[in-house]
Amino acid sequence: MQIPKFRYYYLYFFFLVMFLLLGFRYFQVQVLMDDKEFAALLSQFSDKKAITLPGWRGVIYTSDGIPVALTINTYVYYAIVDKLDEEEKKLFARSFSKVFNLPPKLILKLLSKGDRYVTLFQSPDRELYLKFTAKRLELWEIGKKYLRAVLKKTTLSPKRLRQICSQQGENTDASLQKACHIFKVLYWTGAIASNKRVYPHGRFLANTIGFVSKKGEGRAGIEKIADKYLYAGPVKIFYSYGPLRPPKEEKIPSGLRLVEGEIYPLIKKNFTADVYLTIDYTVQAILEDVKRKIVERWRPKKAVLFLMDAYTGEVLGLAVYPDFDPNKPFRNWQEFLNSKNIAFTDVFEMGSVIKPFFIGLAIYKGRVETDDRIYIDGGKTYIGRHVVRDAERLPTRYLSVRDILVHSSNVGVVQIARKLTKEDEEWLINLLGWNEKIVNYPGATRGLIPNLNLPANRLYIAFGQGLALTPAHLVSSYAALLTGYAPRPLLIKKVVREDGKVVKVFSPQYLNTEPLFDEKTRKWLLDTLRKIVVKGTGKKANPYYYPVGGKTGTAQVYDPKLRRYSSTRYVTSFIGFFPYPNPRYVLLVLVDEPKAPRRYLLYGGTVAAPYWAEIVNRVSSYLGITHVPDLEMLMKRR
């Protein structure tokens, strides 16, 4: 019988289409496909496989070797809740209640939280894991008894058991139902080994350290800054299978073998490192203790306690409020918001603590002399139509330049600032970096500088109004008053890899190459700040056992609703140095919006200064600074 020709045509057409499709696919793979897609395609047909080991995260230490953030082995107890019915959830809750030491109702509540995968419990306790495993074996033995009663055998694969349990009906034997309930509980719940980032000291230094995501990646603070050192990601070890029986004359490994050579170089690529901070544990503990006292007494909105080495910029201690628990950073939205470090992220109008810079600027530029007397008209002057008054009423019409600082006269500073030019003030602001970010910290911000083309703004900022800085800016600038150079705050001292190699050592960096003022002007300011503590507005900051100097600050908070400065909300502060006359450290205590029954209590000299003195006494004693008691002041105090 002759085959019709059109069938040949069909066959020819079929092979032609297949050939065209094959050619198109070849063109797509070789020409159109990018490298990543091609590599993924190639891996599907390669004998090269990979073992992925979970990555480990390095430890964060204080400068004296106390761990403040570390990773531990842990066990995660889980349940796939959408595969369990109510009877099986109740069975799990009853069976494992004593293991977790939790009431069955609470376990049932946990099982009802998610729609699929639920983490029930997480603990590093090895004994708990062994109890959990033993309870599962006990349940399985009970399940086998039920299976034996129905099926006369217990050696069924999980797949076969799932098939049997999925075919249950209303007439299913009760013993088989119970066995299936037990099987599903064991199959859809369990424990896996994992690791967990923990912060053993809780809120201690939390806002500086930061926290990590659920994937173990740094999300805030030092955890984010040093993430590239602390975490190298999961380790992938590639392998393939060699011949099962290689020829004797050839040295080819049989079975599993590494593709990329020795295992040590592979792991070395993923070495993590430990980070050592500049923070001293004991100093930080002192700041945290004083912070607690401030919060209990004044109930502030915010607070910052900042201690820095004036020469190197190393931060010895930094405590802020509000704080948070880094072990539970996502417990609620407010806790998450509290995780920022306001010493770097928030700006404050600082008030009178700014005055030494503008008076020093006027002296340095030759606009005034240190022995000049300034007209203050009894403590009142005008900027345009606005009245500026002194907080302290002084029965005099003239003050010396030094007494303007000692008594913190707003009017005196305004009168001196009238002699400064726009270029003078711009030089100061640029030199100290007030208009830039001075630290590599997540969320760090720059200062807020008003429009200096307006003469009124140039007068207001001279006594700290309309000029907003971060606490880090202020501390760095006061260091420049002592040394001439403003250091960038330094939080990390060194990074050490887990094999002992020092990866990086962080050295001091400075904001200015030109010194702030000349040495004579800085020495004059140093002596003046000392007098403020001895006989001026900062008397309560005098620790008596150690000679110090500093400046009080009280600034009204601008109320955007009222469009004016509030008469009841203040930023109070005290910043100074110790020990005098050769200071090494700069310390800031800032208390934002403290609460008090009387408004006259809300000044830097009454709120912040006493705590500043307490910190100096305790820290100086710890650092071994030689005490030089002020006997005259001690006698007056007694």
What superfamily in CATH does domain 283-637 come from? DD-peptidase/beta-lactamase superfamily (3.40.710.10)
Mean pLDDT of 40-64: 74
Give the count of beta carbons closer than 10 Å to the beta carbon of residue 270: 16
Q: Is residue 569 exposed (0-12), middle (13-18) or buried (19+ Cβ within 10 Å)?
A: middle
| Residues ≥6 apart with Cβ < 8 Å to 527 | 549
Residue 587, token pair as written in the block: 């310390």
- Mean pLDDT in residue range 75-89: 89
Q: How confident is the model at residue 202 (pLDDT cuts 50, 70, 90)?
A: very high
Nearest to 230 by CA among 473, 392, 413, 60: 60
Q: What's the rounded mean pLDDT across residues 185-204?
A: 90
Q: What is the rounded CA–CA span in Å between residue 230 and residue 220?
A: 13
What distance, in Å, lies between the first and last C-alpha atoms of the chain?
131
pLDDT score recorded for residue 244: 43
The pLDDT of residue 241: 52
Backbone angles phi, psi at 403, to 5 degrees: -70, -25
Residue with the bigger pLDDT between 313 and 27: it is 313
Q: Angle, nearest 10°, between helix axes 422-432 and 355-364?
A: 120
The CA distances from residue 13 to 19, 127, 338, 443, in Å, are: 10, 71, 71, 66
Q: Which residue has the tokens 């007439």?
A: 171
Please give the Cα distance from 162 to 166 (Å, whole number). 6
pLDDT of 61 strictly over 90: yes
pTM score, two decimals? 0.82
Q: Which two tokens stand for residue 472?
A: 């880090």
HEC string of 555-569 equals: EEEEECCCCEEEEEE
Q: Distance between CA 112 and CA 185 in Å, rounded?
A: 15
Q: Which residue has the higher pLDDT, 619 or 53?
A: 619
Predicted local confidence at residue 276, as pLDDT: 97
> Going by C-beta distance under 8 Å and a sequence separation of 6 or more, which residues neighbour residue 148?
154
Q: Does the pLDDT at position 428 exceed 90?
A: yes
Most confident of 132-141, 252-261, 340-349: 340-349
Tell me how far apart the alpha carbons of residues 326 and 210 are, in angstroms, rounded to a whole number: 7
Range scoring the smallest mean pLDDT among 70-84, 299-313, 343-357, 484-498? 70-84
Highest mean pLDDT among 61-75, 162-176, 182-196, 375-389: 61-75
For position 245, what pLDDT does the model report? Answer: 43
Residue 255 has pLDDT above 80, yes or no: no
Among 374-388, 434-448, 504-518, 580-594, the minimum mean pLDDT is found in: 374-388
- pLDDT tens-place string over residues 453-474: 999 999 999 999 999 999 999 9
Number of other residues whose CB lies within 10 A of the CB of residue 584: 15
Residue 53 is predicted with a pLDDT of 64
Q: How many CA atoms lie within 13 A of 185 on its CB side?
A: 27
Dihedral (C-alpha) 307, 466, 488, 593: value to the nearest 10 degrees?
Answer: 30
Residue listed under structure tokens 């711009």: 426
The pLDDT value recorded for residue 329 is: 81
| pLDDT band (50, 70, 90) for residue 154 | low
Distance CA 481, CA 200 (A): 38
Q: Which amino acid is at 81?
A: V
Angle formed at CA 30 by CA 24 and CA 35, multiple of 5 degrees: 130
**What integer pLDDT is reported at residue 555 of this predicted model?**
93
Instruction: Check pLDDT > 70 for residue 136.
Output: yes
pLDDT, greater one: 45 or 228: 228
- Residue 334 is which amino acid? Q
Q: Identify the band that residue 192 occupies on the pLDDT scale cut at 50, 70 and 90.
A: confident
Percent share of the chain, pLDDT over 70? 86
Judge whether 386 and 455 are in contact, CB under 8 Å. no
E strands present in 136-262: 189-198, 235-242, 255-258
Contact 393, 379 (CB under 8 A): yes
Q: How confident is the model at residue 438, as a pLDDT?
A: 95
How many Å apart are CA 623 and CA 629, to the nearest integer? 17
Q: What pLDDT is recorded for position 7?
A: 66
Residue 500 C-alpha from the chain's centroid: 26
Alpha-carbon gap, residue 182 to 145, rounded angstroms: 11
Residue 367, C-beta contacts closer than 8 angstroms, at least 6 positions apart: 361, 416, 419, 420, 424
Question: pLDDT category, 238, cuts 50, 70, 90?
Answer: low
Statement: residue 199 has pLDDT above 50: yes
Residue 578 · residue 620 · CB < 8 Å: yes
Q: What is the C-alpha to C-alpha distance for residues 182 and 179, in angstroms, rounded to an integer?
A: 5
Residue closest to 213 by CA, chosen among 124, 336, 318: 336
pLDDT tens-digit readout, 360-388: 999 999 999 999 999 988 888 999 888 88
Q: Which pLDDT tens digit goes with each residue over 532-578?
A: 999 899 999 999 889 999 999 999 998 888 888 888 899 999 999 99
Average pLDDT, the chain: 87
Q: Which residue has the higher pLDDT, 42 or 15?
A: 15
- Report domain extents, the chain: 5-46, 63-195, 283-637
Residue 536 CA to residue 515 CA, distance in Å, equals 28
- The burial of 638, by beta-carbon neighbours within 10 Å (0-12 exposed, 13-18 middle, 19 or more buried), is given as exposed
| In the chain, % of residues over pLDDT 90 | 58
- CA-closest candidate to residue 546, choices 522, 575, 580: 580
Residue 205, CA distances (Å) to 137, 196, 277, 282, 574 in order: 44, 19, 11, 12, 21
Tell me: pLDDT of 85 over 80. Answer: yes
Phi then psi for residue 319, to 5 deg, are -120, 135
* 282's tokens: 């004991």
Mapping DSSP onto H, E and C, the string for 267-310 reads HHCCCCEEEEECCCHHHHHHHHHHHHHHHHHHCCCEEEEEEEEC
Mean pLDDT, residues 599-618 taken together: 93
